[in-house]
Structure 1
Amino acid sequence: MNEPVFWLAPLASVFALYFAWRFFKEMVAHDEGTEMMREIGAHVRKGSMAYLRQQYKIMLVVFALVAGLFAYLSYGLGVQNPWLPITFTFGGFFSALAGYFGMQTATLASTRTTAAARTSLAGALNVAFRSGAVMGLVVVGLGLGNLAFWFVLIDLFTPGDPTQGAYLILVTTTALTFSMGASMQALFARVGGGIYTKAADVGADLVGKVEAGIPEDDPRNPAVIADNVGDNVGDVAGMGADLFESYCGSILAASALGAAAFVADPAMQMKAIAAPMAIAGVGIMLSVLGVFLVKTREGANQKELLGALSKGINASAALIVVASAAVLWLLGIENPWGIWGAVVTGLVTGLIIGRSTEYSTSASFKPTRSIAAAAESGAATTIIAGIGVGMLSTVIPVLAVSIGTMLAYQFASGFDPTQMGQGLYGIAIAAVGMLSTLGITLASDAYGPIADNAGGNAEMSGLGPEVRERTDALDSLGNTTAATGKGFAIGSAALTALALIASYIEVIRIELISAGQTALDVGRDLSVATADATLVDFMAFYNVTLLNPAVLITLFLGAMVAFTFSGLTVQAVGRAAQTMVEEVRRQFREDPGILKGTSAPDYERCVAISTVGAQREMVIPSLIAIAAPVLVGVLFGVAGVIGLLAGGLSTGFVLAVFLSNAGGAWDNAKKYIEAGHHGGKGSPAHRASVIGDTIGDPFKDTSGPSLNILIKLMSIVAIVMAGVTVSYTLI
């Protein structure tokens, strides 16, 4: 890699990991509170790490089997890239490592946030947010550092002539295989973590709050520790793994499409490959700056707290607009202002999706308040109102991604319809722009479960109402930032998946050449060299049109996969939650002293139930994402795979927005009522809102966020298995 600007990437990676270590040390140095607070924190930490160890044991077996299969396909049959078994394994390992570091930090930080809340709201926000920044900076540091390492290593050991355009296409598409391991680990982490957390949450709410009438996070509730553990396994380890693979996937897809767009000019190819790496590197440095800008005053209200977080995020986003222009100018890349326009388009699209999600889910705005008002008429109207809000909330994100995609394409292509390659590169680099400030964006998301656990610790430790008031303010803010983070992740997934579909064609080109097919019949007695064929040529060769039954069938199959996946994950939460409900009822029934406060509940039994349920239920939904592209490729060929990916992307994106926003709005409507509106806690409206929140739990924390991984993982699996599709397709 002889482009000097490329080396911003490894330098920024070290920069991110240094500040992650520094923020971690600062957090650990804070007071951990009373003996009771430390004991509760230890229970949560023990349960979180026990779950993670169990999940990683299962993933170790799964990864060993899949890596073995890839090794056979690569070294035995010769139909797969020889790097695949290696990069696949490392992708999964570093995705898991990012989740592990985030989990360790979050479980240590929640107790210290509670301790800080005894004296200061601003101090508690500082502890929680800086701890969330550890997660964000570890994800981007490990992600970008790995990509730089693999690009250099693959470049060193790939045979061929670096002065030829096909060489860099081979290097970048080979590096794409790293995303397979990261995506697979992310899906297991998201699905398993989502099932765990919602089984515990639903069990704790239905029996504790609705049936027994005890407050949320009451230490008499046997499921309360499992509920707090769930916040970490779902929204820390799960979200970290999710955005790790989004971050890596967007950069890798942009690099691969950059190599393809400028195949006739190897010098410009190198610049196009280095651009997303360098922009991501600058984004890391500006994210750290944004973290230092997040501060608030004592007694701040919800809007002021949200403004404090927004200040850091918006400052980082504004500065990356200027910095990315400087990077592209230094690179001397072709059409720098058009590519810069694509980067800015991605950033603006991400901000619009975030603000739209905030509007749809925050109790400060009309949609969520309308659900709270509907709760006065009962659970049915609460559910109807929430479904309506969720459906309407899809309008702005879909329009934003649609308009953003078109603008990014046109900017990067210079509004020239013949420059399709550069246009697709623009879409990919727009996704990089959206994720360029992930270091601070993910910090605001990881902050949520830390604040939630801090509130639980305050309740169980019996701290004063002023402490709980501060932790409740942080927790409510965390619900909004978590919903915003999910919307942001889903939006970035849509752009990344679009870029990955285009990358799939480049991998098919390489596989065809490897198989000895040097020319393509594009119809009307015309033939073009495979190495020189355009994307339009490939569409003609494979008959990728709506008149092809294979494409129509697989479009429907892609949509069906999104709904089937969501249905399986929602039902999985229901089954696991039912087991939890029965266990909590059993403990209350067999030991009346628990509700009287004279005997302690069996927390560990509930933790074990959630762990076993999550591990068992996560397998089948996860396997669907892996099996669908392989089976469709064998049965319907390349055209069928493209149809599957397009159907899964369009349906999965809209469905994910609906599920996440409906669930977030139900949750915050409940909290709005608990704050004293519409009758407050214990009122009929409150009881109805708890039902709505319970239904929304698997929507927003299991099915919705997992869908964005599904649509990317299907694309990555299609890319990785392209050799099998080309060699063994039945049509």
Structure 2
Amino acid sequence: MNILLLAPFASLAALLFAAYLSYSVMKESEGSAEMVKIAEAIRHGARAYLKRQYAGVAIFFAVMFVVLLVFAYIGYLSYFVSFAFLTGGFFSALSGYIGMTIATNANARTAFAAKKSLNRSLKIAFSSGAVMGLAVVGLGMFHLSFWYYFLDWFYRFLPEAEKIQKITSAMLNFGMGASSMALFARVGGGIYTKAADVGADLVGKVEVGIPEDDPRNPAVIADNVGDNVGDVAGMGADLYESYIGSIVSTTALAVAAGLGIRGVAIPFVVAAVGVLASIIGTFFVKSGEDADQGVLLKALRKGTYVSSLLVVVVSYFLIRNILGVEYIGVFYAMLSGLIAGLLIGFFTEYFTSDTYSPTQKLSATANTGPATVIISGISLGMLSTALPVIIIGIAVLASFYLAGGAESFNMGLFGVGISAVGLLSTLGITLATDAYGPVADNAGGIAEMSHQESEVRERTDALDSLGNTTAATGKGFAIGSAALTALALIVAYKNEVELIAVSVRPDFQFSLSILNPNVLIGLFIGGMLAFIFAAFTMESVGKAAQEIVTEVRRQFKGSKGILDGTVEPDYARCVDICTRAAQREMILPSLMAIIAPILVGVLLGVNGVAGMLAGSTVTGFLLAVMMANSGGAWDNAKKYIEAGNHGGKGSDSHKAAVVGDTVGDPFKDTSGPSINILIKLLCMVSIVFASFVLQNSIF
């Protein structure tokens, strides 16, 4: 119990340090009046979007709260689930809001700092990203610590073994609120940002021939707003959900493995150590004043590697002391997950960065037009799925047997869960390097729109290019964490159903053979859901982008002074179109993820649901990797050409690459990342409604 106090302490440390970093960023100057005006327009658009989104999502949460109360009244679940649903959604939304707020306040400050040096602007951008990362882990640890200690008090009169089972069983249901909020944030933000981006590129770059972030483009402010609501707020909510999901599922697996309170402490302690290590790692992200991009990338990696090393060293002694030397294999299971995360990030960078041959070869296909760019990009994405699957497979196998799976099946499953916690242990700094990217992107846009000297734009472009690399790595990390977390949740679902069945259906036994028709049908349905979900989100981006393209064309045609620079475009109109379209289009795919597990459960029973979860995890993981890496490669192939290769900006090759990038935009920033949340939300909903399905299924 004493060692568990490390969790709330780490939460407090993360939030206090995030507040300090926010203060240090806000002390910096935003620059000229023109830079301040542009930054305020971006802030206003981002706040307006989130205000409208949260108002709509609040209705959904109110309805679901009542539904969960009704199910609790009937006896299908605990009343605590209803209230934890609200707190999970609230903290998920709050983490995204904090990240977006600091990002929209850091963009102009990053651009202005670039007038002095590249390293100074990196420091501001990274500090704002660190606020996001530390807010996510700090709020996540606070949320879980609050509920753990509250439930520990509530069940204080029960015997220790029964009490800890009650606590972990209840907390396993607590991820649904965070998962639901994450899906709305990711889908809505992804639709917004890519509709604006695609619309701005197709008309501005391809049709009119003006540069990226040109102030004459009516969609340019909407594009910059989208970077924040999609890539910052959405990513924060996504990884917040993975973070708490991996911890609560592992605590439940610890009880099933017979480890009791000691086993429950392990995921909390490892996560807490990771929070403190991430804080320390931020101090190592620095370089000389005249650093080039390669040095800056090493500086970012240095912070991540230092944090990872600290987690490894400290966790070894803590796990050994808490569980005893006979359970030291649990440490190595945790280590396998941590290494898997680093490897997936590296190979994601290999397939998407223009410093490596895959993206360079992709850029060369632009010489023969957009069709070959698209064909080659899809091929690259499909090929890139091999290594992440092998890495995750090795991590699962290693964690299972290292934790003692050969002697105890449940210990092996606990090892798989702790490997997911290990992968996410350094989330504080890993997310910082990801959230830094949109800030750098916005800084480049502000530098362009405020007509800064070429040296400033060169530095912000270097930061932006570095941000593309870290963002691609971050997406790979998020996908890997989703796969391991989903696997842990599927196992926890099986254990939860068996626990419930003891009191409501003593005769029940799982039949998970693939020859069982219910399981087989569930596998197909789960695989289908990933594709249907991707289709919905892609179609949503297409519809919203069409509205933006039509509006931008209308403005260019209606006022010749826009291209002359004598008339300011109507930026607010494009912001409003994106906002309305994102809110409208996010409803169907989000509701599908919540309804599907209940419907499948009623029709096919818990065996069918288990099949659906397995099918969605396997297919969703592969599809997410393929889409994210294809999109990232298309984006960087375009930038590689813009750097002066294959004809440079304005050439036919460049126009072909822009077309490829517009296809890749919803791949990497809407559909791919949203699938991560889909596979985890399906698990969470299945766990919450397990008792209902067990007692009311047709089969």
**How far apart, CA to CA, are the structure 1 residues paired with 2:64 and 2:694?**
20
**How far apart, CA to CA, are the structure 2 residues paired with 1:49 and 1:179?**
26
Q: Give 2:642's aligned residue.
A: 674
Q: Give 2:296's aligned residue.
A: 305
2:466 aligned partner, one-letter code: L
Instruction: Kindly state the Cα deviation for residue 170 of structure 1 after the two structures are TM-superposed.
Output: 2.1
**How far apart, CA to CA, are the structure 2 residues paired with 1:286 and 1:572?**
40
CA contact (8 A) 1:186 1:709 kept: yes
2:121 aligned partner, one-letter code: A
Counterpart mapping for 1:578-597 below 5 A: 578-597=546-565
CA contact (8 A) 1:37 1:111 kept: yes
Instruction: Kindly state the Cα deviation for residue 301 of structure 1 after the two structures are TM-superposed.
Output: 3.4
Q: Give 2:460's aligned residue.
A: 471
3-state DSSP class of the match of 1:83?
Answer: helix
Counterpart mapping for 1:629-668 below 5 A: 629-668=597-636
Deviations 1:313-363 (A, max 9, x none): 011111211111011123134743200001110010000000000101111
1:174–1:334 Cα change, 3 Å:
farther
Instruction: Kindly state the Cα deviation for residue 302 of structure 1 after the two structures are TM-superposed.
Output: 3.1
**How far apart, CA to CA, are the structure 1 residues paired with 2:108 and 2:650?**
28
Q: Give 1:128's aligned residue.
A: 125
> Which runs of 5 or more structure 1 residues have no equivalent in the other structure?
263-267, 522-540
Counterpart mapping for 1:140-155 below 5 A: 140-155=137-152
**How far apart, CA to CA, are the structure 2 residues paired with 1:489 and 1:336?**
29
**How far apart, CA to CA, are the structure 2 residues paired with 1:355 and 1:439?**
18
1:32 aligns with 2:33: no
3-state DSSP class of the match of 1:177?
Answer: helix
* Identical positions, percent: 55
Instruction: Kindly state the Cα deviation for residue 168 of structure 1 after the two structures are TM-superposed.
Output: 1.7
CA contact (8 A) 1:444 1:482 kept: yes
1:293 aligns with 2:284: yes
1:726–1:333 Cα change, 3 Å:
farther
2:298 aligned partner, one-letter code: G
1:366 aligned partner, one-letter code: S
Q: Give 1:247's aligned residue.
A: 243
Instruction: Kindly state the Cα deviation for residue 565 of structure 1 after the two structures are TM-superposed.
Output: 0.2
Q: Give 2:313's aligned residue.
A: 322
Instruction: Kindly state the Cα deviation for residue 81 of structure 1 after the two structures are TM-superposed.
Output: 1.7
CA contact (8 A) 2:99 2:132 kept: yes
**How far apart, CA to CA, are the structure 2 residues paired with 1:573 and 1:360?**
25
1:622 aligns with 2:590: yes
The match for 1:59 among 57, 60, 69 is 57
1:643–1:160 Cα change, 3 Å:
farther
1:231 aligns with 2:222: no
> Which runs of 5 or more structure 2 residues have no equivalent in the other structure?
none
CA contact (8 A) 2:85 2:174 kept: yes
Instruction: Kindly state the Cα deviation for residue 513 of structure 1 after the two structures are TM-superposed.
Output: 3.0
CA contact (8 A) 2:263 2:323 kept: no
Q: Give 1:175's aligned residue.
A: 171
Aligned length: 699
Instruction: Kindly state the Cα deviation for residue 377 of structure 1 after the two structures are TM-superposed.
Output: 1.4
**How far apart, CA to CA, are the structure 2 residues paired with 1:335 and 1:561?**
43
Q: Give 2:476's aligned residue.
A: 487
CA contact (8 A) 2:523 2:614 kept: yes
**How far apart, CA to CA, are the structure 1 residues paired with 2:539 and 2:294?**
36
Q: Give 1:23's aligned residue.
A: 21
Q: Give 2:403's aligned residue.
A: 412
Instruction: Kindly state the Cα deviation for residue 510 of structure 1 after the two structures are TM-superposed.
Output: 3.1
Q: Give 2:681's aligned residue.
A: 713
CA contact (8 A) 1:218 1:459 kept: yes
**How far apart, CA to CA, are the structure 1 residues paired with 2:343 and 2:555?**
47
1:434 aligns with 2:423: yes
Q: Give 2:438's aligned residue.
A: 449
Instruction: Kindly state the Cα deviation for residue 227 of structure 1 after the two structures are TM-superposed.
Output: 0.1
**How far apart, CA to CA, are the structure 2 residues paired with 1:664 and 1:293?**
27
2:20 aligned partner, one-letter code: R
Counterpart mapping for 1:133-532 below 5 A: 133-158=130-155, 161-164=158-161, 166-262=162-258, 268-333=259-324, 335-413=326-404, 415-416=405-406, 418-515=407-504, 517=505, 519-520=506-507
**How far apart, CA to CA, are the structure 1 residues paired with 2:585 and 2:28?**
38
CA contact (8 A) 2:152 2:163 kept: no
**How far apart, CA to CA, are the structure 1 residues paired with 2:289 and 2:377?**
33
CA contact (8 A) 2:403 2:412 kept: yes
CA contact (8 A) 2:30 2:108 kept: yes
**How far apart, CA to CA, are the structure 1 residues paired with 2:389 and 2:44?**
41
Deviations 1:460-495 (A, max 9, x none): 000011100000000011111111111101101101
1:14 aligned partner, one-letter code: L
CA contact (8 A) 1:98 1:139 kept: yes
The match for 2:41 among 25, 40, 43 is 43
Counterpart mapping for 1:603-614 below 5 A: 603-614=571-582
3-state DSSP class of the match of 1:703?
Answer: helix
3-state DSSP class of the match of 1:655?
Answer: helix
1:689 aligns with 2:686: no
Counterpart mapping for 1:96-107 below 5 A: 96-107=93-104
**How far apart, CA to CA, are the structure 2 residues paired with 1:38 and 1:655?**
41
1:67 aligned partner, one-letter code: F
Instruction: Kindly state the Cα deviation for residue 520 of structure 1 after the two structures are TM-superposed.
Output: 3.8
CA contact (8 A) 1:272 1:333 kept: no
1:700 aligns with 2:668: yes
3-state DSSP class of the match of 1:176?
Answer: helix
**How far apart, CA to CA, are the structure 2 residues paired with 1:60 and 1:173?**
27
Instruction: Kindly state the Cα deviation for residue 306 of structure 1 after the two structures are TM-superposed.
Output: 1.4
1:69 aligns with 2:67: yes
1:711 aligned partner, one-letter code: I
Instruction: Kindly state the Cα deviation for residue 247 of structure 1 after the two structures are TM-superposed.
Output: 0.4
